Structure 1
Amino acid sequence: MKKQFIVGLILVISSIVVFILYKNFNRSELFTVMKVPNFELTNQDNQKISNQNMLGKVYLVEFFFTNCPTICPVMKTNIMEIEKEINHPDFGVISITIDPKRDTPEILKIQKNRLKVQNPNWHFLTGDRDYIYNVSKEFNIYIGKDYASSEGLNHSGKLALVDKNGMIRSRYDEKGMPILYYSGLNYSDAEGQIESLGGEFHPEINYLKEDILILLQE
């Protein structure tokens, strides 16, 4: 009985400690996911851009393609709203096409001009498709592998958030677990767009604005 009492007491104390730690968990501190994978690709101005060029910047990484009719326009709209609200010289975006055969630097420049992107740190990147696929794997952001089929143009709507030191960062969820990546598909709930576009509401896009500002101040 004495042994059972001690074990029970230890469990109760452990539960209290976990509860106290949870209540005092500092959610303003962002989790370090991993070092950003190395990449070097060609931007819309035929310049080589790498992760080394982005050191000192807080930036987002997305995978997209210019002819994407579904999630890409939503992601671009959300990123542009974030970029407009942040409006900081040390904030940038890396948009990597998964369709480099069509998305040449010239096409990417047309895309940038069409979107009226003014931020010099927003780079639309293209290059070898196998290289891009391997970069996406290192980021742990899904894109389709079989480029010869329609599956090759499938891709995730996730965004990686990278700090000034080249580390991927994320906030924690309500349970204290890191979310790792942010959704770029936060449809506006105000006008019923969730239902009309067949999407889901992802609050991460709102959190993302807050977290970018946190990293800009580090």
Structure 2
Amino acid sequence: MKKNSVLLVLILTLSSILTACGSYKFEPEMNIEVQDFSVTNQKNEKVSLNDIKGKPSLAMFIFTNCNSICPPMTYNMTEVQKALQDKGVEDYQIVAFSVDPQVDSPEVLTNYLKTYSVPDESKWQLLTGYDQKFIEQFAMKSFNSVVKNDPNSDQVIHMGSYYLVNADGIVVKDYSGTTDVPVETIVADMKALTK
């Protein structure tokens, strides 16, 4: 009888572990509607919110002249994209809003992206073509994210987060984009949203 009880406990434990592995459940942590926009990407094409909708996106705020968090954020995003490719996740976009649109023309953004080993450039939208006031208000309203010019330098203060936007244009989660980037969680979340 004791042998049967131990065996039953082992079977139940094993089945619960296997069930947990195969059924990751995505839990949204945010619910912010991205405001409509009409901007320009690195290919000098017009991009609006409707162009972004229809598939999940990973969004971030960067600028090419950044001397602090943007280079690691951009590099880390290429690592996230490699992990997405490795797991067969295809239906997504990476959207980077420039927080220094006066400097970051489409050509500057194109050259910036070339300095990184990007696994699939076709999934990247680097956006510009608006003024500073727009991006400061847009970042706050759409992502609850701070963007502000530094009056003492040519730098722009902004957050180092990645934002997960679902196919309906709703921000549902954010992650660190600078250090301890939760790549596996991002991939699992993206996989859950692309199903």
TM-score norm. by structure 1 comes to 0.69
SS in 2 for 1:207: helix
The answer (yes or no) to whether the contact 1:44–1:123 under 8 Å persists in 2 is yes
Q: Provide the residue aligned with 2:53 in structure 1.
A: 55
Q: Provide the residue aligned with 2:10 in structure 1.
A: none
Q: Which whole-Å deviations, capped at 9, do the CAs of 1:15-64 have from their partners, x for residues lacking one?
A: xxxxxxxxxxx972322512222222111111111221011221111111
Q: Which whole-Å deviations, capped at 9, do the CAs of 1:88-120 have from their partners, x for residues lacking one?
A: 431111111111121111101111222243331
Question: Which one has the bigger strand percentage?
Answer: 2
Q: Which whole-Å deviations, capped at 9, do the CAs of 1:128-150 have from their partners, x for residues lacking one?
A: 22111111111211111x46543
The answer (yes or no) to whether the contact 1:98–1:129 under 8 Å persists in 2 is yes
How many angstroms apart in 2 are the aligned matches of 1:120 and 1:149?
Answer: 36
Q: Does 1:207 align with 2:193?
A: no
Q: Provide the residue aligned with 1:13 in structure 2.
A: none
Q: 2:79 aligns with which of 78, 81, 94?
A: 81
Q: 1:160 aligns with which of 146, 160, 163?
A: 163
Aligned-partner residue type, residue 103 of structure 1: D
**Unaligned regions of 5+ residues in structure 1, if any?**
1-25, 171-180, 187-200
How many angstroms apart in 2 are the aligned matches of 1:37 and 1:148?
Answer: 27
**Unaligned regions of 5+ residues in structure 2, if any?**
1-22
Q: Kindly, what percent of the aligned residue pairs are identical? A: 30
Q: Which whole-Å deviations, capped at 9, do the CAs of 1:163-182 have from their partners, x for residues lacking one?
A: 12222113xxxxxxxxxx21
TM-score norm. by structure 2 comes to 0.76
The answer (yes or no) to whether the contact 1:105–1:126 under 8 Å persists in 2 is yes
Distance change >3 Å, CA 74–CA 122, structure 1 → 2: same
The answer (yes or no) to whether the contact 2:98–2:126 under 8 Å persists in 1 is yes
Higher relative contact order (CA 8 A, sep 6+): 2
- Deviation, 1:71, is 1.0
The answer (yes or no) to whether the contact 2:65–2:155 under 8 Å persists in 1 is no
Aligned-partner residue type, residue 154 of structure 1: I
SS in 2 for 1:115: coil
SS in 2 for 1:73: helix
Alignment of 1:10-49 (within 5 A): 28-31=25-28, 33-49=31-47
Aligned-partner residue type, residue 140 of structure 1: N
SS in 2 for 1:182: strand
Q: Which contiguous aligned blocks of 4+ residues in structure 1 show a shift greater than 6 angstroms?
A: none
Aligned-partner residue type, residue 100 of structure 2: D
How many angstroms apart in 1 are the aligned matches of 2:138 and 2:24?
Answer: 30
Q: Does 1:130 align with 2:133?
A: yes
Distance change >3 Å, CA 155–CA 205, structure 1 → 2: farther
Q: Provide the residue aligned with 1:197 in structure 2.
A: none
